[in-house]
Structure 1
Amino acid sequence: MYAREVLWDLMWPGQIPPSPVTAVTVPGNRLTLEGHDLHIVESGHADSDDSAVLHVPDLGRVVAGDAICSGVHMYLAESADGDFGPWRQAVDTLAALKPRRIVARHQNRNLDDNAARLIAETRRYLDDAAAALAAHDTPADFFDAMLKRYPEHLGPTVLWVSARALYLAREGGGPVPNLIAARRL
């Protein structure tokens, strides 16, 4: 909900229709598609709370949603803890499934889907973001440090939104509500 207000509605005002979602629980968090068992695995917090991944064990594949990114800046705005511990736990949950391939929701299409690479890249990005947060006093300095570290990553707007939210969170309150309030000032 918040990401829409601070990012998408600003970028495309009035162009995105309301999108109410009615979710239905899948019995046992499992279903079958074309002879393959699909397991819905709750991974916890990634870029937002209550994330899940889809595991296809016989194919060694995980559809990772936003838990894993490939060659793009990660949306860190809802990770106010600053060390990204819950996101790291989500990555550990996914890694424990021992996938060979990962379908990342946000990805540079020129990169492969090798699970070991993607898991390592996601962990490294979180490590670097935590270090940059500790080393820099302003969102601009954090942003510049991450751009320097990841010059080929796609999505600098997402990085900027994340930087603003993380630094506003240092002033108290939730990072995303702070962004919304700052936008209205």
Structure 2
Amino acid sequence: MHANNAGRPYVWDKVYSDIPPSPVTAVTVPDNRFTLEGRDLVMVEVGHTDTEATSVLHVPDLALVVAGDVIYNGAHQYVGEAVLAGLDSWRRAIDQVEALSPRSVVAGHKKSELDDDAARTITETREYLDVAEELMGTENSAVDFFNAMIARYPDRIGRTVLWSMSQAVFGIREHPGEDPVQFIAGGWL
């Protein structure tokens, strides 16, 4: 949270106008759990997904996971940072969510008309990573990759995210040894 807040003037304030001030005020809770309205809510740290240090919120007696950046639902997934750590770390995070046995998953990035069915969203998130990884290996440029992903997923929302990610992935690939942050941030601008 602190890292994203520090980068805000360089990326997010340039991409989106009129974002209200948002100081980081979150604090950790003992044992990564708390109770709300008589229900246990458990924070589960799952590692690197579309960004570093991702976590999910599990409500066991509702068979619910609020998945944030781990599970997407009808939206293009941002793999621009994930390529640095490798997509397998994201796959392990998906496995951790699945091991919680949710019936419903609330995705942090979602096409509003879609339901929250856990089995479908988990399967589709995994498949997207597989397709993205395959196309990163076969496409020759950010434009080619972007177009191939649109052809494969024409109904997903978030084409700006897809374009930013495409630029980041191919910028990093085409400039090995250079600071990847310039390509990750630059993809948004």
Deviation at 1:39, TM superposition (A): 0.5
Q: Deviations over 1:19-55 (max 9, x none)?
A: 2203311100011111111100001111100000000
Aligned-partner Cα distance in 2 for 1:66–1:107: 10
The equivalent of 1:163 in structure 2 is: 166
Count of matched residue pairs: 183
- Give RMSD over aligned pairs: 2.2
Q: Structure 2 length as normaliser, TM-score?
A: 0.88
Aligned-partner Cα distance in 1 for 2:187–2:122: 34
The equivalent of 2:148 in structure 1 is: 145
The equivalent of 2:90 in structure 1 is: 87
Aligned-partner Cα distance in 2 for 1:104–1:98: 15
The equivalent of 2:182 in structure 1 is: 177
Gaps of 5+ in 2: none
Report if aligned partners of 2:67, 2:105 keep a CA contact under 8 Å in 1: yes
1:10 matched to 2:14? The reply is: yes
Aligned-partner Cα distance in 2 for 1:104–1:124: 16
Aligned-partner Cα distance in 2 for 1:134–1:6: 30
| Alpha carbons of structure 1 residues 6 and 67: separation in structure 2 relative to 1, 3 Å | farther
Deviation at 1:176, TM superposition (A): 3.4
Aligned-partner Cα distance in 1 for 2:34–2:184: 39
Deviation at 1:81, TM superposition (A): 3.8
Kindly report which structure 2 residues correspond to 1:45-64, keeping only aligned pairs within 5 A, or say none: 45-64=48-67
Give the AA of the match of 1:11. V
The equivalent of 1:105 in structure 2 is: 108
Aligned-partner Cα distance in 2 for 1:143–1:7: 21
Aligned-partner Cα distance in 1 for 2:25–2:142: 37
Q: Percent identity?
A: 48
Q: Structure 1 residues 168-177 or 28-37, which shifts more?
A: 168-177
